[in-house]
Amino acid sequence: MAFELPDLPYSVDALEPYMSAETLKYHHGKHHRHYVDALNKLIADSPLEDRSLEEIVRASAGAVDEKSLKIFNNAAQVWNHNFFWESMAPMGGGEPSVGLTNLFAKTFGHLGAFKKAFHQAGMDQFGSGYAWLVLTDNALAVRCTANGYPPFVDGQVPLLCCDVWEHAYYLDYLNRRQDFLTAFLDHLVDWAAVEERVLAFVI
CA angle 154, 155, 158 (to 5 degrees): 95
pTM metric for this prediction: 0.96
Ranges of CATH 1.10.287.990 domains, the chain? 21-85
Strand stretches in the chain, DSSP E:
129-136, 139-146, 157-163
Determine whether domain 21-85 maps to CATH 3.20.130.10: no
One pLDDT digit (tens) per residue for the chain, 203 residues? 799 999 999 999 999 999 999 999 999 999 999 999 999 999 999 999 999 999 999 999 998 899 999 999 999 999 999 999 999 999 999 999 999 999 999 999 999 999 999 999 999 999 999 999 999 988 999 999 999 999 999 999 999 999 999 999 999 999 999 999 999 999 999 999 999 999 887 54
**Residue of 24, 2, 9 whose CA lies nearest to 167:** 24
Task: Please report the pLDDT score of residue 138 as a whole number.
Answer: 84
Backbone phi and psi for residue 132, each to the nearest 5 degrees, phi listed first = -135, 145
C-beta of residue 124 within 8 angstroms of C-beta of residue 106: no
Topology classification of domain 98-199: minor pseudopilin epsh fold (3.55.40)
User: Which residue(s) pair with 135 in the sheet?
Assistant: 140, 157
Please state, in angstroms and rounded to a whole number, the distance separating the CA atoms of residues 40 and 99. Answer: 41
Please state, in angstroms and rounded to a whole number, the distance separating the CA atoms of residues 104 and 156. Answer: 17
Ranges of CATH 3.55.40.20 domains, the chain? 98-199
Sequence-distant (≥ 6) Cβ neighbours of residue 106 within 8 angstroms: none
